[in-house]
């Protein structure tokens, strides 16, 4: 088996490298450490690249900017037959997109188009999976009736208990520029599946997370929260009383969903992918659990203005994914995710420099 992973230094990309290396696959990883450009040295992912190169013998890194169309097309032309392409490379912050709109759109939308056209021209038999985002729904999920509980916002209508499904409206809503660029990539990917009949799948992620996440304030909810708690950094809470809810899924469970699609692809399909209700938590609840697990007490500063387009309560409805792939389920609970992240941060902090 031969796999190409874009954004291979990042959270999902690096987990995909490890996942497919463990299956005996030859893995080609594409990255250029753009996260450091977006977020500064705290977003640098070269440490993760070095870890992959040291631990995974069938992994090979390729330095490539997916905005470079000719280089992308040449890479897919010269790679030899690929079984699977996992596209994780992105500008991931809706706050940052407003400060660098050209870079955001060129990475998220144009970079995706370059890869999809490379797929059509040079790798038409490959399965292609893109990690999209729940931000394609803009702030339309905020229209669901909500009720305020002691530590979280919650859906008021029992019909919404499973969360947001794939029929949620994506237009006539505030996305942020990041949400708009990812929506463009999402729809392009669907069209390459439906129009050209290529084996393309779209996974709209909730909070994808894991111990190797280089979390920063503008991206990486749980990772940055753990880091702030353990370093004494003041964590800024933006609106909604800290009761905003996210559903969190471990990157290993993400890779398992991708692999299920690879084994039985459905061209042009879209799936919501997150931790679901069982792995959902508010910011307040996450901070309390980190403290309980020995990760330290979170120091906070409250900013009484939500981020534009932010979700008040977002839980991914996983029923479509589970109906198409009944063997897939969440295997790593929230508590274990946080335990892994706390241990990983300790290990990283104690490592010699």
pLDDT for res 352: 53
Query: Which homologous superfamily is 2-350 in?
Result: NAD(P)-binding Rossmann-like Domain (3.40.50.720)
pLDDT for res 94: 82
Give the integer Cα–Cα distance in Å for 77 and 80. 7
DSSP output for 120-135: HHH-TTSEEEEEEEGG
Point out the residues of the chain with pLDDT beneath 50: 353
25-to-1, 146, 201, 253, 335 alpha-carbon distances in Å: 5, 46, 20, 19, 31
228-to-9, 65, 123, 217, 238 alpha-carbon distances in Å: 22, 31, 43, 9, 15
pLDDT for res 253: 98
pLDDT for res 353: 46
| Number of Cβ within a 10 Å radius of residue 272 | 27
Provide the token pair at 90: 């992105």
pLDDT for res 233: 95
Domain ranges of the chain: 2-350
pLDDT for res 350: 65
Residue-wise pLDDT for 228-270, tens only, equals: 999 999 999 999 999 999 999 999 999 999 999 999 999 999 9
């Amino acid at each position: 088996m031969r796999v190409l992973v874009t954004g291979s230094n990042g959270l999902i990309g690096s987990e995909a490298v490890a996942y497919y290396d463990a299956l005996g696959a030859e893995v080609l990883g594409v990255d250029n450490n753009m996260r450091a450009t977006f977020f500064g040295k705290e977003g640098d992912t070269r440490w993760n690249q070095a870890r992959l190169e040291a631990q995974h013998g069938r992994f090979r890194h390729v330095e490539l900017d997916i905005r470079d169309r000719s280089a992308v097309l040449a890479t897919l032309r010269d790679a030899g037959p690929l079984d699977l392409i996992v596209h994780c490379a992105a500008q991931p912050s809706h706050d940052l997109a407003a400060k660098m709109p050209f870079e955001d759109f060129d990475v998220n939308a144009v970079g995706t188009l370059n890869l999809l056209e490379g797929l059509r021209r040079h790798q038409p038999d490959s399965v292609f999976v893109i990690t999209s985002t729940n931000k394609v729904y803009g702030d339309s999920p905020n229209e669901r009736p909500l009720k305020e509980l002691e530590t979280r916002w919650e859906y008021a209508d029992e019909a919404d208990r499973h969360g947001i499904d794939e029929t949620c409206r994506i237009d006539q809503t505030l996305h942020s520029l990041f949400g708009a660029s990812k929506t463009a990539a999402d729809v392009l990917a669907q069209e390459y599946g439906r129009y050209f009949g290529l084996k393309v799948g779209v996974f709209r992620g909730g909070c994808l997370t894991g111990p190797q996440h280089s979390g920063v304030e503008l991206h990486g909810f749980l990772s940055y929260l753990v880091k702030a708690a353990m370093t004494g950094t003041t964590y800024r809470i933006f609106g909604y009383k800290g009761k905003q809810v996210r559903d969190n899924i471990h990157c290993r469970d993400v890779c398992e969903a991708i692999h299920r699609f690879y084994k039985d692809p459905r061209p042009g399909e879209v799936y919501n992918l997150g931790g679901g209700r069982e792995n959902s938590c508010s910011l307040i609840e996450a901070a309390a659990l980190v403290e309980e697990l020995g990760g330290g007490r979170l120091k906070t500063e409250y900013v009484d203005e939500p981020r534009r387009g932010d979700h008040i309560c977002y839980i991914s409805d996983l029923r479509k994914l589970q109906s198409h792939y009944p063997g897939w389920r969440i295997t790593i609970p929230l508590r274990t995710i946080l335990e892994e992240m706390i241990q990983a941060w300790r290990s990283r902090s104690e490592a010699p420099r």
